[in-house]
Amino acid sequence: MMYWYDGHLNGWGWFAMSVGMVLFWALIITVAIMAFRALSPSAPRGGSSPSRRPAPPADGGPEQILAERYARGEIDDEEYRRRLATLRGTRPGSAPSPPTP
């Protein structure tokens, strides 16, 4: 007796063979994608997460950050003027000069 069932697969045999083939190709594709991402120089390390804070703009200095905090309402008017005067090196009571673009 060389083959069972006269050389034909029953229903479960076809099902197992089909599932095995799908899993095999899924494994091959997953390994290829992971290898491509690992070897690619432009691939971001660690992925991107919505909880990560965006990087500050390159041209934004301390005055820009202070203005953004004031605009978001994190600090009040008095604190904004006091910190701006400190950054510009003037007395806190004097009026700060207008912001430069």
Residues 6+ apart with CB under 8 A from 92: 81, 82, 85, 86
Structural domain boundaries, residue 71? 61-101
Within-domain flag for 55: no
State how many domains the chain has. 2
Same domain? For 101 and 65 the reply is yes
Same domain? For 34 and 65 the reply is no
Within-domain flag for 97: yes
pLDDT category of residue 93 using cuts at 50, 70 and 90: low
Indicate the range of 1-5, 68-72, 73-77, 87-91 predicted with least confidence: 1-5
The terminus-to-terminus CA distance of the chain in angstroms comes to: 90
pLDDT in tens, 19-77: 999 999 999 999 999 999 999 886 455 555 555 555 555 566 888 999 999 999 999 99
Within-domain flag for 78: yes
Within-domain flag for 22: yes
Q: According to the model, what pLDDT value does residue 43 have? A: 47
